[in-house]
Amino acid sequence: MPRQVNDLPLQELHVYKPDLSLPHDFNSFWEKQKEMIGQKSNDVWLTWTNYPVEKVEVADVVLRSFDETPLHGWYIRPKGVTEGPVLIHYHGYTEGRNVPTKYLVWALLGFTVVSFDQRGQGKSPDFALYENGSRIPGWMLSGIYQPENYYYTNVYRDSLAVLKWLKEEAPVKPTKLGAFGASQGGGLALASAGLDADISFVAADYPFMTHIERALNVALKGPYMEVVNYLKLNDPQYEQFDQMLRTFSYVDALHFCPRIQVPLLIGIGLEDAVAPPSSAFAAFNHANTAEKKIEVYPQFSHEFNPFQEEKRLHFIVKQLQKLNK
């Protein structure tokens, strides 16, 4: 029997499906954002590099988002390809897009891979103006009292802008779109699949920004603690906590999961104190697809998991094989 570390027992996790607390205008809010992004032009610059792996081509990309924020990313494709499957990678909190070698396996398998630094992280700046300050490092509190200008609202808009470019003007026309990531990237992959029905499969490991209200009560470390410490220093009697929860409700990846009707793979460690297992199981159980699987690792925490990397590889290759049939 796995150890129980600060969350529900495994047998309860498998059936954990909490009620959703969507704001009444959740759908109209995001339709408005999609409409706004849809009206923007695709301002993108690609600089192809002299990459030493002959079978792939690598471009350094800059995409100007809705508020002029320049997002920096990698665009990696199999050499000479102009049409084929495209994988969108979302990175973890503070991590950035990393280096092209991280994505070579996907390009060698036939995928074009795209990974952008989220605004304010990696090489991408953040041109948004946020009314509230914070004594806590990180991005969890930027614009926390303004759902329309909260940090993660802007990040989701950026994701929509990237998807728009990929489908309309990118060098490789996508025949299939997949999304994957871990931690922050896992939450973004879930939210993106809920926002864009053209994403046809999702792999999301220990997703962050998911079932946020519970995670704030269960997490013991990581970005959720930014909120806990902010409240302690700025709002010790939680007088504005409900307003925080309202803002979170617009960007909680859990609230996008009922829209997910495509193959889904989630991995979670039962000793994860950063993205609690219950938040991942809530997402999994709310996903509206019959083709889904959650892989459970009793002694793993919020960390790189090579065993899940293998399962993700098999899952994504399976989606590629469906396309080729």
CA distances from 94 to 16, 74, 122, 263, 266 (A): 30, 17, 7, 28, 21
Structure tokens at 208: 């962050």
Instruction: Report how far residue 196's alpha carbon sits from residue 38's, in angstroms, rounded to the nearest whole number.
Output: 12
State the catalytic residue, choosing from 89, 91, 211, 302. 302
**Residue 56 CB neighbour total at 10 angstroms:** 20
Instruction: Report how far residue 318's alpha carbon sits from residue 142's, in angstroms, rounded to the nearest whole number.
Output: 39
Active site residue 302: yes
CA distances from 27 to 191, 262, 286, 289 (A): 13, 20, 17, 20
Active site residue 91: no
Instruction: Report how far residue 195's alpha carbon sits from residue 314's, in angstroms, rounded to the nearest whole number.
Output: 25
State the catalytic residue, choosing from 65, 124, 142, 183. 183
Q: List the beta bridge partners of residue 187.
A: none
3-class secondary structure per residue, 75-129: EEEECCCCEEEEEEEECCCCCCCCCHHHHHHHHHHCCEEEEECCCCCCCCCCCCC
Instruction: Report how far residue 246's alpha carbon sits from residue 75's, in angstroms, rounded to the nearest whole number.
Output: 36
State the catalytic residue, choosing from 124, 272, 279, 286. 272
Q: At what angle do helices 184-195 and 151-168 cross, to 10 degrees?
A: 60
> What is the SS3 assignment for 70?
strand
Among 6, 23, 54, 2, smallest CA distance to 224 is for 6
Active site residue 183: yes
Longest dimension (CA), the chain: 60
Amino acid at site 274: V
Q: What residues are labeled active site?
A: 183, 272, 302
